[in-house]
Amino acid sequence: MVRSAKLLSFLLAGSALTLAAGVANAQELTPVSFGTNWLAEAEHGGFYQAVADGTYERYGLDVTIVQGGPQSPGRPMLLTGQIDFYMSGNMLGPIFAAAENIPVIEVAAIFQKDPQVLMAHPGVGVETFEDLANLPVIFMGADGFATYFQWMKVAFEGFSDDQYRPYTFNPAPFIADPMSAQQGYITAEPFAVEREGGFEPLLFLLADHGFTTPNTLIETTPEYLAANPEIVQAFVEASIIGWYNYLYGDNAAANELIKTDNPEMTDEQIAFTIDKLKEYGLIDSGIALEQGIGCIDATQVMSFYESMVEAGVVPANIDVTTLFTTEFVCAGVGMELKP
């Protein structure tokens, strides 16, 4: 019955929720656990929204969000059945998993754009993404150096390994050196630089320059999917509705839940993140504008994979079409909630 809600949502706004509510009333809620890949933050807002406003319950689910962190073993927890769904980052995660014969599958892509950004100082001659190649120093984490920086060297002229300096999640070295750039999430690190450095950095979102992977993927295992397709459908649809309500509705209760799970989170950081989510179209852009939040663009994924193969980041023998499914998304669920 939950799956039929997907079809009915095409015909009448809100009818999916009505049907799901009937399912929830007719049976006990199904426990579902969802592991995030970082401490609670506004980048997880739609999931917290669906808890706070009862959307998951209306879909017959009792959802527990298992907060991640710096050393959180999210995917191992998924593979051992400790959680039912995992919030993966971008498509490199499942691609690397496939290379090691680790069975995972992505059932939704909440972010159409990867939030990875490179920041530069204003007034130093950096006007375009290509100008970053003229800076002698780029602070990056080891993962960034091994992935998107290798792509940058192939896709653009002038980038060199000599620019690499380790990023230790402390913006002080970047703030002190005007002839440097620094990696970050566009929803987070620029906020810290503004507060600690007293200036607004120039922002170059990799997604707007060819790094085309979706991000914030809802991941499960093929085994769980085969055994529980209706639960997967319900969780994905409810999460999508949660994201529409978080972006365009009253998100106060969700933000309180976020701050409860992560007491270091501030209202100012949350507001900054939501502003960047909207300004840069991280969630509601591209194919999502026509087919709804959460839609996975197969063409986009294939293009990204091919660019990563060309850059030598991933092997060329992976069938990426087996790493995701559009069965549960791209149906316009929740689009009527957008003003």
For the chain (339 residues), the mean pLDDT of every run of 10, in chain order, is 37 40 62 97 98 98 95 93 97 97 98 98 98 98 97 98 96 98 98 97 98 98 98 98 98 98 98 98 98 97 98 97 98 97
Angle at which helices 267-279 and 189-197 cross, to 10°: 120
Same domain, 180 and 308: no
- The most distant pair of C-alpha atoms in the chain lies apart, rounded to whole Å, by 64
| pLDDT for the residue numbered 95 | 98
Same domain, 239 and 327: yes
Among 62, 108, 44, smallest CA distance to 251 is for 44
| pLDDT for the residue numbered 4 | 37
Residue span of the structural domain in which 157 resides: 116-209
| pLDDT for the residue numbered 71 | 81
Angle (CA) 315 109 243, round 5°: 160
**DSSP label of 119:** E
Kind and range of the H or E run holding 210: none
Give the 3-state secondary structure of residue 216: strand
Rounded CA-CA distance 21/18 in Å is 5
Rounded CA-CA distance 302/97 in Å is 16
Same domain, 202 and 233: no
Same domain, 135 and 14: no
Q: In the listed set 189, 209, 229, which residue is the last one of a domain according to the structure?
A: 209
Give the 3-state secondary structure of residue 89: coil
Same domain, 195 and 54: no
pTM for the full model? 0.91
Same domain, 220 and 333: yes
DSSP for 11-35? TSTTHHHHHHHHHHHHSPPEEEEEE
**Which CATH number covers residue 30?**
3.40.190.10
Q: What is the 3-state secondary structure (H, E, C) of 133-186?
A: HHCCEEEECHHHHHCHHHHHHHHCCCCCHHHEEECCCCCHHHHHCCCEEEEEEC
| pLDDT for the residue numbered 27 | 65
Same domain, 200 and 239: no
Rounded CA-CA distance 134/158 in Å is 7
Instruction: Provide the number of structural domains found in the chain.
Output: 2
Q: In the listed set 209, 239, 274, which residue is the last one of a domain according to the structure?
A: 209
Same domain, 71 and 140: no
Same domain, 186 and 331: no
Q: In the listed set 209, 232, 253, which residue is the last one of a domain according to the structure?
A: 209
Q: Are 105 and 325 in contact (CB under 8 A)?
A: yes
Same domain, 104 and 30: yes
Rounded CA-CA distance 252/261 in Å is 15
Same domain, 103 and 120: no
| pLDDT for the residue numbered 11 | 31
Q: Are 59 and 29 in contact (CB under 8 A)?
A: no
Which amino acid type is present at position 6? K
Rounded CA-CA distance 339/336 in Å is 8
| pLDDT for the residue numbered 47 | 98
